[in-house]
Chains A and B, each alone.
Chain A
């Protein structure tokens, strides 16, 4: 394997992984603070992608306005799922299975609605982002570059937020012990709402990058959320940053496995990895092994 092939695969993997990482960080924020297996994260992704695409193709919005549409749409759908479904379930202290099934149901309803509104076929964005840069024989498209830059910016702002701001520390507190957090006067409802908004915005950013790169169909959200779930478990649920690591690793895995093996076996490999982690290292790569009685 030549150095050029190797670095191209590495770059493709990181570019794909950067989208996974952004969406997964969004999922991790929601799952970490609310323990909601937010399958509907996938429909936030799909709807945001479609809004972005229609804003450009049907309404001829300028790029920044189209991005704003996607971001606001994502946050809106995310906040609505919390207000309409998760908050009432949280209030009546519902079993996690009930929350999971409701989330799945919401996903199914909205996915088919999206299919009726936007059509079942794949739609692509014929945008002038098809430019590419060539560094020493390695090709990097503008969208891929944008993805890499976004993941770096998002990772930095994530670290600063969680290390230095009250908001970040509060989320860490809620994540490690929601009951205690409520006892010391944290407004859990408000923080849940903010987390859903923020997590959904991240899903939207990932979706828009992916739309610009490969286009969209009504089913993309489901694979996106499945990847996010795997990334979060691989990275470590108790450390939000683990999702970024998990996402990047899955991107690299996808890129290298499609070179070594046929790309047909990709999802099978991803889910074998998920099972392996669930069974042998449920705390993830960045997690700390805990004694049973320490677990909340």
Chain B
């Protein structure tokens, strides 16, 4: 039973990640390859605040969310004017720089050893220590955040995002500040990713920079593109499908030496297959098209 709740917890966290990345990719049309960096920043900030400063978990979660949103300004503010490949490359660069900092700033982040013994969450004096309890906690936190995302995307703000995505010049002509809209969309997506990072850190109670690499960003992007971008169904389908594939391989009894490689090959095949034959993904609405 613990195994099922473990999976459900992961799915609840990744749903928040996928839906927040979808704000950038599917609604604003920005192909961002640094979502795992935001996840990592949130995870490390929350871990450091509770471990080294002894802050309580609720405050740490809030600070992790806010600071990840502020850090996103570092990448979004200068780069939203870049077009096409250059924009993607700048997010690539940000992802790699963040990883290098997390991996090499040994005194603060534990470097290659990561940080151990991150305190568990306790709510109303009740310690959240089993996967079942944590699933309830992460389900509520991520569920509320997802609700917020949905409200935001249904509001006029969501329409502005899609306007920017479909025709920047037209949006600008209608008096929208395109750069500011992109910066905002980055900040919201990063805040959610930061919160997801905190959820992950206090669940696993261990963080390591190697969980927040470029490959992880590509994995998150695959979830959104395979499931489908531009609506809510797509990323949900993608999350469930891509998180369950490794578990299926586990049941097939794939030997440990090749299982990770086979898993990544399947992700690669899905990514190419969908982008090539069905660019809107399984249940998505948006596909990258030349205007």
Contact = CB atoms under 8 A, between A and B. Distances in A.
Kindly name the residue among A107, A108, A267, A275 whose own CB sees the greatest number of chain B CB atoms within 10 A: A108
A111 B31 CA distance: 23
Contact of B218 (A37, A85, A104, A274): A104
B78 interface: yes
A75 B192 CA distance: 44
Contact of B31 (A35, A100, A106, A275): A100
A282 interface: yes
Given A105-B269, A120-B261, A265-B104, 18 more contacts: A37-B85, A98-B275, A98-B288, A101-B275, A102-B276, A105-B268, A105-B275, A107-B268, A109-B268, A116-B261, A264-B104, A268-B97, A271-B92, A272-B93, A275-B90, A275-B97, A279-B79, A279-B90
Interface in B259-291: 261-262, 264-265, 267-269, 271-272, 275-276, 279, 287-290
Nearest to A96: B84
Given A101-B225, A104-B218, A274-B89, A112 B97 contact: no
A109 B279 CA distance: 18
A261 B81 CA distance: 33
A128 to B, nearest CB: 33
B289 A275 contact: no
Contact of A112 (B86, B104, B268, B275): B268
Kindly name the residue among B85, B97, B101, B258 whose own CB sees the greatest number of chain A CB atoms within 10 A: B85
Given A104-B218, A268-B100, A279-B78, A233 B89 contact: yes
Interface string A77-100: 000000001001100011111101
Interface residue tally of chain A, by bracket?
35 or more
A98 B84 CA distance: 11
Contact of A113 (B93, B100, B265, B289): B265
A37 B287 CA distance: 19
Given A93-B290, A267-B100, A268-B100, A112 B265 contact: yes
B186 interface: no
B218 A116 contact: no
Interface of B: 31, 78-79, 82, 84-86, 88-90, 92-94, 96-97, 100-101, 104, 218, 221, 225, 258, 261-262, 264-265, 267-269, 271-272, 275-276, 279, 287-290
B276 A95 contact: no
Nearest to B263: A112
B82 A278 contact: yes
Contacts of B275: 98, 101-102, 105
Nearest to A229: B89
| Majority-rule SS of B interface residues | helix
A6 interface: no
Given A275-B93, A279-B78, A100 B85 contact: yes
18 contacts: A85-B272, A85-B276, A95-B290, A97-B31, A97-B288, A102-B276, A104-B271, A106-B268, A108-B268, A108-B271, A109-B269, A112-B262, A112-B264, A265-B104, A268-B97, A272-B97, A274-B90, A274-B93
Contacts of A146: none
A96 B89 CA distance: 12
Contact of A108 (B82, B84, B267): B267
A115 interface: yes
Interface of A: 35, 37, 85, 88-89, 93-98, 100-102, 104-109, 111-113, 115-116, 120, 226, 229, 233, 264-265, 267-268, 271-272, 274-275, 278-279, 282
A93 B288 CA distance: 11
Contacts of B288: 94-95, 97-98
A282 B86 contact: yes
B31 A265 contact: no
B97 to A, nearest CB: 5
Listed from nearest, the 4 A-B pairs whose CB atoms lie closest are A108-B268, A105-B272, A109-B268, A95-B288
A268 B104 contact: yes
Contacts of A272: 93, 97
B265 A109 contact: yes
Nearest to B289: A95
A108 B272 CA distance: 10
Contacts of B84: 96-97
Contacts of A35: 85
Nearest to A101: B275
Contacts of B104: 264-265, 268
